[in-house]
Amino acid sequence: MGEIIVNLDVMMAKRKISLGELATKIDITPANLSVLKTGKAKAIRFSTLMAICNVLDCQPGDILEYKTETNN
């Protein structure tokens, strides 16, 4: 089994947006966004993903990435 990597920090750096600012714009707590950014999250709601894509002006594929075990 591979794993899903969250590249939110890369996208945030590209858009030059801070964690707190993004959290306010998508209306979730910075603590929860931090959980998502560090890859500790177990699931992500479509609504959250949509809000992030909307604010960062990107596609879900830019934030999430699938890595197979052999690639590691």
Partner 1 sequence: MGKLRYKLLKLKTIRLSFDIIFIAVALFLVTFLVINVILICQNQLIIAGNAAIYPNKEPIVLDVDTCSQINGVNLDFKSEFIKVKYKMLFSEKHSVIIFYHVLKILTLNLPLILFLFILFHLRNIINSVLKEFNQKKRLISHYIFNKKNIKRLHYIAYAFIIFPFIELSAYWADNLLLEQYFVLKGMKVRSIISLQILSWDYIIIGLIFITIIEVIRRGIALQEEQDLTI
The residues that touch partner 1, with contacts defined as CB under 8 A, are: 28, 32-33, 35-36, 40-45, 48
CA Rg value for the chain: 12
**31 versus 68: smaller Cβ distance to partner 1:** 31
**3-class DSSP state for residue 10?**
helix
Residue 62 beta carbon to partner 1: minimum distance, rounded to whole angstroms: 17
Q: Which is nearer to partner 1, 48 or 68 (CB)?
A: 48
H-helix or E-strand spanning residue 6? strand 3-6
Residues 6+ apart with CB under 8 A from 40: none
Nearer to partner 1, 16 or 42 (CB): 42
